Amino acid sequence: MAAATPLLTDELDIVIPTIRNLDFLEMWRPFFQPYHLIIVQDGDPSKTIKVPDGFDYELYNRNDINKILGPKASCISFKDSACRCFGYMVSKKKYIFTIDDDCFVAKDPSGKDINALEQHIKNLLSPSTPLFFNTLYDPFREGADFVRGYPFSYREGVPTAVSHGLWLNIPDYDAPTQLVKPAERNTRYVDAVLTIPKGTLFPMCGMNLGFDRDLIGPAMYFGLMGDGQPIGRYDDMWAGWCIKVICDHLGLGVKTGLPYIWHSKASNPFVNLKKEYNGIFWQEEIIPFFQAATLPKDCTSVQNCYIELSKQVKEKLGKIDPYFVKLADAMVTWIEAWDELNPAKA
Ligand SMILES: O=c1ccn([C@@H]2O[C@H](COP(=O)(O)OP(=O)(O)O[C@H]3O[C@@H](CO)[C@H](O)[C@H]3O)[C@@H](O)[C@H]2O)c(=O)[nH]1
Ligand SMILES: [Mn+2]
């Protein structure tokens, strides 16, 4: 009989970026009600966001962000889901789960409702195996183990910093793919959790994401996107590339796979194409930069790693476009703001 997964209700915050009313919470009530929500209201702060009764939450709009961070609020995006990272900064908990407001409870092949939060907690509380690939997937899962030939010296694994969940129905495609395949829906439920090997980058989607805030929180900056910026919808991607380089350096693990959520709404591919255009072009240089990025041995804290990465971004990506000089500076501002709001850990 598998041990029950700890609920971590006092150690985990749920962060939701939103421009809509949060009726979607009704479907999540059985799973989310015991948790504290941090709602980051984007767009017009004078709009009232309706939150269903019975949830314990704090809500921050742009006026609140400006009041709390002052000039440092410039590093928090406006009119882009990237604003969600403000919720990571103000949280006081060890774990974060972030979800979009058009993501609902999915069903597994047996027809059972998937408690995505429980699976993320399972993923985060069990080690990752980035140093040697286990062909039977997650060796710490009930009914699985390390396979023959797996070095015993590696079987302890490393602490898991990030749990990246997936989506049934509307897949997280970029605009060109969505334009070519508008009717494509993801119906395939793959019953697996994988550790992303050390040295391998991945496209992190912020729709259904859990992470250990103490292990990697300061690197979970979702960048400068949306209003006034030449790029959008690369918020979670940027954070994913930064956290993976830092996790590899610090010996932390990143997992992807279960849990699934049901992604209900496809955003407009033409609007998305405009937001993504520069990103699709620039990423052909950004990816080699992150693949080659190395951090000095004396970078032993996430903050130090992140500041060092920001210097390399400025030096090496600043040549692509002045945007990256701005982004590198915003990365520093983010860390300053993070340490200001989280002095004990700093
Ligand atoms: O200006 C905005 C727009 C939206 N939001 C909130 O962010 C999430 C996602 O919005 P939505 O579901 O409409 O868009 P998607 O294209 O499906 O988003 C995914 O793509 C990436 C965007 O960077 C990211 O991985 C996913 O979020 C909702 O909760 C909206 O309410 C916002 O805050 N500001
Ligand atoms: Mn969506």
Alpha-carbon distance of 273 to 266, in angstroms, equals 13
Alpha-carbon distance of 31 to 257, in angstroms, equals 19
Atom of ligand 1 nearest to the CA of 99: 29
What is the DSSP track for 238-249? Answer: HHHHHHHHHHHH
Alpha-carbon distance of 108 to 166, in angstroms, equals 13
- The whole-number average pLDDT for the span 73-101 is 98
Name which of 2-16, 67-81, 195-209 the model is least confident about: 2-16
Confidence of residue 6 (pLDDT cuts 50, 70, 90): confident
pLDDT of residue 344: 76
- The whole-number average pLDDT for the span 127-132 is 98
Question: Which of 85, 287, 104, 274 is closest to 174 using CA atoms?
Answer: 274
CATH class assigned to 12-341: alpha beta
> Does the CB atom of residue 80 touch ligand 1 within 6 A?
yes
pLDDT of residue 46: 97
- The whole-number average pLDDT for the span 42-55 is 97
pLDDT of residue 266: 86
pLDDT of residue 156: 98
Average pLDDT, the chain: 97
Ligand nearest to the CA of 21: 1
Per-residue pLDDT at 289 exceeds 80: yes
pLDDT of residue 345: 59
Lookup result for tokens 């405009």: 274
- The whole-number average pLDDT for the span 257-280 is 96
Each domain of the chain, given as residue ranges in start order, spans 12-341
Alpha-carbon distance of 22 to 59, in angstroms, equals 12
Question: Could you count the other beta carbons within 10 Å of the beta carbon of residue 70?
Answer: 11
Alpha-carbon distance of 131 to 154, in angstroms, equals 7
Confidence of residue 4 (pLDDT cuts 50, 70, 90): confident
Return the half-sphere exposure (C-beta side, CA atoms, 13 A cut-off) of residue 332: 12
- The whole-number average pLDDT for the span 325-342 is 98
pLDDT of residue 346: 54
Q: List the residue whose alpha carbon is closest to atom 31 of ligand 1.
A: 18
- The whole-number average pLDDT for the span 214-242 is 97
Q: Which pLDDT tens digit goes with each residue over 302-318?
A: 999 999 999 999 999 99
Confidence of residue 5 (pLDDT cuts 50, 70, 90): confident
pLDDT of residue 57: 98
Q: What separation in Å is there between the alpha carbon of 133 and the centre of ligand 1?
A: 33
**Residue percentage of the chain with pLDDT more than 90:** 96
Beta bridge partners of 97: 14, 210
CA angle 217, 129, 122 (to 5 degrees): 60
> Does the CB atom of residue 207 touch ligand 1 within 6 A?
yes
Q: List the residue whose alpha carbon is closest to atom 4 of ligand 1.
A: 81
